[in-house]
């Protein structure tokens, strides 16, 4: 053997021997000296039964380890109490640890660690210093029981039977930019009775956590609030919601974390029970950006239950059997800035027994299904909880409500929507409009204009609008609105949207206009350019006697029926700028009764002329032609002393009204010609031509007409009770041609009588012979030639209607034709017999005649008050 070879062997042998001696010496020191060194130079005491260190491999084995804090009362030191059966470290870098003060090893294994750890009190100065993190690849813990307490002795974490296998572990260089401060390749975990407290608000619990083939299973997971609802609002006034969650099982599959990226294949929550406690806090502006990326292929909720609680402790909403599925969820810094902090491909939400409670309404939904393109709600109930004069209240049952959406999103706290259809089926019940609505401007700040809806449909519905004790009942409603748009301009209107077209179809309408009337109809169809009404009725709710007792002044009582009403034209129901530009209106089969009692006091308020009444319509109104066909009109008037009401009838009544207008539509004529034909008192042809003009400030008008072949007895039911006059004979022709304005009337009248006679009657119906004989001397009723007279000027009583003035004109002409051209109605009303004559030949008036005269004057002073 050569000399250099011997030297080499000696050196290597010496080194090997030195290493062996060092290894033996180190093991002896670690076993007997290290515990004393730790006790003397650290805050802990450590004991173990065995400690082996292999300097060649860097492997360390320790058994039966006991560790404790020397001074448990020192809050500045991390407290550790407990035992570890076995500690194994593989391939520890001893040289690097000695030279670079950096610890690195391959594997760390802990068997049956039973530890109680008390966290040291936080020192901000120490936290600023960069902490040296050990570098190792794999961690395995078996059979562990660990409790972690904070410096206040409150539990932060605990777990039993912990088994953790973490492989390919790497700590990140910048923990603040990562979801967790390390990444790993594989994770297997099992633990029982897991508890974790993240902060002073919440703690989390689970009875068991397991991994199996890339799946993490958590059983009986709970997110528990550590504060009551009231405490939360008191100590955290800026936070909006407090959560209380319990779920039977949570399952994650293909769970992977890579620095700032989190990827999950599936997340499933089984039977979650969530209570969400709301507060009065406003939404806080997001101050921190979300720095991570989260990919989740599919998230599911199975058979969930949600309760949302108002700040006062009452229930806002609860829902049963909640199912939810969201696919392809992605969240990053950009999406986190939105109202919905993540993107998704599609979602589906289903549930049963949803209940929502406002302060005035309870809304219940039996079954619902919602996805990205539609919402379907079945068996909906809206019930009032309290009456509120400023809020509209609903008492409805709805069979189904359905929404189909083309596209929707939330952008900058605003809803953007383009919807295809909203359908509501079989809505039945009451809507009670607010009696005193707040004049508060509607807030549409949460909507991104324009909001679009292609079609709205309400089908097979029965709704009662019950406001101010005047219910409006609508049966079998079928309504459709199309091309609905809500934009900046329309949102300022009372109806905040406009519609391209609409169609309203009702089987019947019943409106109780209490206390006096009921308005009803059969079929009612309303479209954008036409309206149809069948079996229209406007009938009293009270008897005539009740009506007379109820009214403070004279007023007509109407009973009107119409077989059909048809209207065509242009109108816009959805604009605050109201306009009605009608083409035609046809009213068929009208039967109308107008009753007036003279028992109540006169209504002394000024009555407008018809042209003035049209001008009071506040919006542009024009109806080119109105036709009333085959109508029947009856007017009845009664006094305290009359024997039954007097009557005027107009049968086979036809009217043609042109250019009915409010005088506010540019370019349209303001003159209103009216042609009337009828059978007066069921016997005599009547024709009238009447013209008024809404542009005439003085309400100028003209009215002319003729009555043919009028049997005088036909008017006795009206004139006898009021004037004490009975007539016989015939009026072959009565012709009038009047003009006037709101101040009075003038014109001419022509009469062609045939054998006309009058009789003055007393209260008992007997004829006053002397008065009758004298009167007939003045009436040239036995002459058949026509007679005419100028009525002069008849001043209008402005407390009476237009027809009262017209009737005075007719009376004035009759008085001058039948009695004397120099005799006016006012003179005639002063007596029933010629001056100087008495009802008996002795020149003295009997008591009966005086009574009759008094009655005649009283009744005549009413001026046969037709159409007052």
Lowest mean pLDDT among 30-34, 83-87, 320-324, 378-382: 30-34
pLDDT band at 785, cuts 50/70/90?
Answer: confident
805 and 658: one domain?
A: no
> Does residue 175 contact residue 181 with C-beta atoms inside 8 Å?
yes
The strand ranges marked E within 70-201 are: 79-90, 104-118, 135-149, 155-167, 170-171, 182-183, 186-197
Q: Who has greater pLDDT, 294 or 719?
A: 294
Q: Is the pLDDT of residue 726 over 90?
A: no
Q: Is the pLDDT of residue 771 over 70?
A: no
Based on the number of CB atoms within 10 Å of its own CB, is 523 exposed (0-12), middle (13-18) or buried (19 or more)? middle
CA 819, 811, 741 angle in degrees (round to 5)?
135
For the stretch 449-487, pLDDT in tens is 899 999 999 999 999 998 767 899 999 999 999 999 999
Task: Give the integer Cα–Cα distance in Å for 620 and 633.
Answer: 30
Domain region containing 805: 700-868
For 830, the token pair is 């002063």
pLDDT band at 840, cuts 50/70/90?
Answer: very low
What is the separation of C-alpha 93 from the centre of its chain, rounded to a whole number of angstroms? 72
Q: Who has greater pLDDT, 784 or 376?
A: 376
Q: Who has greater pLDDT, 857 or 476?
A: 476
Count the Cβ atoms, other than its own, within 10 Å of residue 605.
9
Q: Is the pLDDT of residue 64 over 70?
A: yes
The confidence score (pLDDT) of residue 748 equals 96
Q: Is the pLDDT of residue 653 over 50?
A: yes
Query: Which run of H or E residues covers position 383?
Result: strand 374-384
Mean pLDDT for the stretch of residues 286-296:
65
The confidence score (pLDDT) of residue 858 equals 42
Residues 6+ apart with CB under 8 A from 264: 252, 253, 254, 255, 256, 294, 295, 296, 297
For the stretch 522-557, pLDDT in tens is 999 999 999 999 999 999 999 999 999 999 999 999
350 and 384: one domain?
A: no
The last residue of one of the domains, among 150, 171, 197, is 197
> Does residue 403 contact residue 438 with C-beta atoms inside 8 Å?
no
CA 104, 134, 60 angle in degrees (round to 5)?
50
> Does residue 535 contact residue 509 with C-beta atoms inside 8 Å?
no
Instruction: Give 407's strand partners.
Output: 418
183 and 210: one domain?
A: no
Let me know if residue 497 belongs to a domain: no
Mean of all residue pLDDT scores within the chain: 82
For 714, the token pair is 């036909």
pLDDT band at 775, cuts 50/70/90?
Answer: low
Task: Give the integer Cα–Cα distance in Å for 277 and 201.
Answer: 13
428 and 480: one domain?
A: yes
Q: Is the pLDDT of residue 287 over 60?
A: no
Q: How many residues does the chain have?
A: 868
Find where tokens 């303001």 sit. Answer: 670
The confidence score (pLDDT) of residue 307 equals 95
Task: Give the integer Cα–Cα distance in Å for 96 and 99.
Answer: 5
Residues 6+ apart with CB under 8 A from 639: 597, 598, 599, 721, 722, 859, 862
The confidence score (pLDDT) of residue 866 equals 41
Q: Which of 467, 309, 497 is nearest to 391 (CA)?
A: 467
552 and 587: one domain?
A: yes
DSSP string, 106-127: EEEEEEEEEEEEEPPPP-HHHH
Of the chain, the percentage scoring pLDDT greater than 90 comes to 48
For 563, the token pair is 């077989």
Which phi and psi angles does 401 have, rounded to 5°? -130, 135
Let me know if residue 695 belongs to a domain: no
Let me know if residue 348 belongs to a domain: yes
Structural domains in the chain (count)? 6
Based on the number of CB atoms within 10 Å of its own CB, is 645 exposed (0-12), middle (13-18) or buried (19 or more)? buried
The confidence score (pLDDT) of residue 547 equals 96
The confidence score (pLDDT) of residue 311 equals 94
Q: Which of 683, 674, 631, 641 is nearest to 656 (CA)?
A: 674
Task: Give the integer Cα–Cα distance in Å for 868 and 408.
Answer: 62
Query: What letter would DSSP give residue 281?
Result: P
47 and 98: one domain?
A: yes
The confidence score (pLDDT) of residue 319 equals 95
Find where tokens 């409670």 sit. Answer: 357
Let me know if residue 228 belongs to a domain: yes
Residues 6+ apart with CB under 8 A from 385: 357, 358, 359, 360, 361, 362
Let me know if residue 680 belongs to a domain: no
Task: Give the integer Cα–Cα distance in Å for 148 and 674.
Answer: 98
224 and 318: one domain?
A: yes
Mean pLDDT for the stretch of residues 756-761:
76
* Alpha-carbon distance values, 530 to 410, 478, 578, 618, 765 (Å): 39, 16, 16, 22, 55
Query: In this structure, are strands 346-357 and 361-371 parallel, antiparallel, or unpaired?
Result: antiparallel
Task: Give the integer Cα–Cα distance in Å for 247 and 665.
Answer: 68
346 and 222: one domain?
A: yes
> Does residue 751 contact residue 727 with C-beta atoms inside 8 Å?
no
Let me know if residue 23 belongs to a domain: yes
> Does residue 58 contact residue 88 with C-beta atoms inside 8 Å?
no
> Does residue 709 contact residue 730 with C-beta atoms inside 8 Å?
yes
The confidence score (pLDDT) of residue 147 equals 92
Task: Give the integer Cα–Cα distance in Å for 481 and 476.
Answer: 17
DSSP string, 571-627: E-TT-SS--EEEEEEEEES-EEEEEEESSSPP--SPPPPHHHHHHT--S-EEEEEEE
For the stretch 656-684, pLDDT in tens is 999 999 999 999 999 999 999 999 988 89
Let me know if residue 781 belongs to a domain: yes
For the stretch 402-446, pLDDT in tens is 999 998 887 777 888 899 999 999 999 999 888 777 666 778 888
Task: Give the integer Cα–Cα distance in Å for 674 and 806.
Answer: 15
Task: Give the integer Cα–Cα distance in Å for 425 and 460.
Answer: 6
CA atoms within 13 A on the CB side of 124: 0
**Helices 34-41 and 3-32 meet at what angle, rounded to 10?**
60
Q: Which of 685, 761, 682 is nearest to 719 (CA)?
A: 761
Task: Give the integer Cα–Cα distance in Å for 80 and 58.
Answer: 26
The confidence score (pLDDT) of residue 285 equals 60
The confidence score (pLDDT) of residue 35 equals 55
Mean pLDDT for the stretch of residues 366-381:
95
CA 618, 436, 383 angle in degrees (round to 5)?
120
Which phi and psi angles does 520 have, rounded to 5°? -145, 165
567 and 601: one domain?
A: yes
523 and 665: one domain?
A: yes
For 633, the token pair is 């009109």
The confidence score (pLDDT) of residue 638 equals 82
The confidence score (pLDDT) of residue 463 equals 96
Cα-Cα-Cα-Cα torsion 448, 449, 454, 458, nearest 10 degrees, comes to 70
* Alpha-carbon distance values, 453 to 248, 346, 613, 627, 748 (Å): 41, 21, 40, 38, 63
171 and 231: one domain?
A: no
Task: Give the integer Cα–Cα distance in Å for 532 and 473.
Answer: 18
For the stretch 81-127, pLDDT in tens is 999 999 888 876 555 555 555 556 678 888 999 999 888 877 665 55
For the stretch 213-262, pLDDT in tens is 778 899 999 999 999 999 999 999 988 899 999 999 999 887 666 655 66
For the stretch 680-706, pLDDT in tens is 988 899 999 999 999 999 999 999 999
Query: Which run of H or E residues covers position 422?
Result: strand 414-432
Let me know if residue 693 belongs to a domain: no
Q: Which of 324, 321, 444, 428 is nearest to 382 (CA)?
A: 428
Task: Give the integer Cα–Cα distance in Å for 768 and 831.
Answer: 14
209 and 191: one domain?
A: no
Give pTM, 2 decimals.
0.78
For the stretch 142-198, pLDDT in tens is 999 999 988 888 888 999 999 988 877 665 555 554 445 556 667 788 999 999 997
């Amino acid at each position: 053997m050569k000399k250099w070879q011997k030297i080499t062997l000696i050196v290597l042998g010496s080194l090997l021997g030195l290493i062996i001696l060092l290894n033996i010496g180190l093991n002896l020191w670690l076993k007997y000296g290290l515990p004393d060194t730790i006790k003397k130079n650290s805050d802990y005491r450590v004991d173990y039964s065995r400690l082996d260190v292999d300097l060649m491999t860097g492997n360390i084995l320790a058994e039966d380890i006991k560790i404790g804090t020397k001074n448990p009362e020192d809050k500045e030191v991390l407290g550790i109490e407990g035992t570890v059966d076995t500690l194994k470290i593989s391939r520890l870098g001893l040289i690097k640890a000695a030279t670079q003060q950096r610890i690195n090893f391959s594997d760390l294994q802990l068997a049956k660690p039973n530890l109680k750890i008390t966290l040291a009190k936080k020192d901000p100065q120490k936290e600023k210093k960069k902490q040296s993190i050990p570098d190792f690849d794999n961690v395995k813990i078996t059979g562990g029981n660990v409790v972690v307490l904070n410096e206040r002795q409150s539990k932060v974490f605990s777990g039993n039977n912990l088994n953790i296998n973490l492989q390919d572990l790497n700590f990140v260089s910048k923990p603040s930019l990562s979801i967790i401060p390390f990444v790993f390749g594989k994770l297997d975990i099992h633990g029982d009775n897991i508890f974790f407290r993240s902060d002073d608000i919440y703690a989390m619990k689970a009875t068991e956590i397991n991994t199996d083939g890339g799946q993490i299973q958590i059983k009986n997971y709970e997110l528990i609030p550590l504060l009551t609802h009231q405490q939360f609002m008191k100590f955290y006034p800026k936070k909006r919601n407090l959560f209380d969650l319990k779920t039977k099982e949570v399952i994650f599959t293909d769970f992977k974390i890579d620095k700032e990226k989190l990827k999950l294949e599936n997340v499933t929550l089984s039977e979650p029970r969530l209570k969400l406690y709301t507060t009065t806090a406003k939404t806080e502006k997001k101050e921190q950006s979300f720095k991570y990326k989260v990919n989740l292929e599919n998230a599911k909720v199975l058979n969930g239950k949600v309760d949302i609680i108002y700040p006062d402790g009452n229930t806002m909403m609860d829902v049963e059997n909640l199912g939810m599925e969201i696919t392809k969820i992605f969240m990053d810094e950009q999406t986190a800035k939105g109202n919905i902090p993540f993107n998704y491909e599609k979602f589906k939400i289903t549930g049963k027994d949803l209940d929502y409670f406002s302060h005035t309404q309870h809304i219940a939904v039996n079954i619902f299904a919602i996805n990205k393109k539609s919402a379907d709600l079945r068996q909906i109930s809206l019930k009032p909880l309290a009456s509120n004069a400023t809020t509209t209240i609903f008492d409805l049952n709805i069979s189904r409500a359905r929404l189909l959406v083309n596209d929707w999103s939330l952008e900058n706290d605003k809803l953007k929507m383009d919807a295809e259809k909203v359908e509501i089926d079989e809505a039945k019940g009451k809507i009670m409009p607010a009696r005193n609505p707040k004049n508060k401007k509607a807030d549409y700040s949460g909507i991104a204009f324009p909001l679009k809806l292609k079609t709205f449909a309400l089908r097979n519905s029965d709704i009662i609008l019950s406001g101010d004790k005047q219910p409006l009942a609508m049966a079998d409603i079928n309504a459709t609105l199309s091309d609905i748009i809500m934009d900046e301009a329309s949102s300022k209107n009372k109806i905040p949207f406009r519609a391209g077209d609409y169609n309203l179809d009702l089987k019947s309408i019943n409106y109780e206009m209490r206390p006096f009337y009921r308005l009803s109809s059969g079929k009612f169809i309303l479209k954008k350019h036409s309206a149809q009404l069948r079996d229209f009725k406007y009938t009293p709710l009270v008897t005539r006697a009740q009506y007379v007792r109820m009214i403070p002044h004279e007023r007509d009582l109407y009973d009107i029926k119409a077989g059909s009403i048809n209207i065509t034209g242009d109108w816009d129901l959805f604009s605050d700028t109201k306009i009605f530009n009608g083409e035609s209106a046809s009213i068929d089969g009208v039967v109308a009764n107008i009753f007036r009692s003279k028992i109540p006091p006169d209504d002394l308020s000024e009555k407008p002329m018809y042209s003035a009444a049209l001008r009071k319509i506040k919006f542009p109104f024009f109806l080119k032609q109105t036709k009333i066909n085959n109508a029947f009109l009856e007017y009845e008037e009664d006094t305290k002393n009359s024997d039954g009401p007097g009557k005027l009838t107009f049968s086979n009544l036809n009217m043609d009204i042109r250019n009915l207008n409010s005088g506010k539509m540019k370019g349209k004529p303001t003159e209103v010609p009216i042609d009337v034909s009828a059978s007066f008192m069921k016997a005599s042809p009547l024709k009238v031509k009447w013209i008024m003009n809404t542009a005439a400030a003085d309400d100028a008008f003209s009215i002319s007409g003729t009555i043919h072949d009028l049997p005088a007895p036909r008017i006795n039911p009206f004139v006898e009770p009021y004037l004490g006059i009975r007539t016989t004979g015939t009026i072959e022709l009565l012709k009038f041609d009047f003009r006037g304005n709101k101040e009075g009337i003038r014109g001419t009248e022509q009469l062609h009588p045939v054998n006309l006679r009058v009789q003055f009657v007393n209260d008992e119906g007997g004829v006053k012979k002397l008065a009758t004989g004298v009167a007939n001397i003045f009436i040239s009723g036995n002459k058949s030639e026509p007679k005419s007279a100028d009525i002069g000027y008849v001043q209008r009583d402005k407390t009476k209607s237009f027809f009262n003035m017209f009737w005075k004109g007719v009376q004035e002409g009759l008085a001058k034709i039948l009695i004397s051209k120099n005799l006016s109605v006012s003179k005639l009303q002063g007596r029933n017999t010629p001056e100087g004559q008495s009802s008996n030949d002795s020149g003295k008036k009997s008591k009966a005649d005086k009574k009759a005269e008094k009655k005649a004057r009283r009744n005549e002073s009413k001026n046969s008050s037709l159409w007052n």
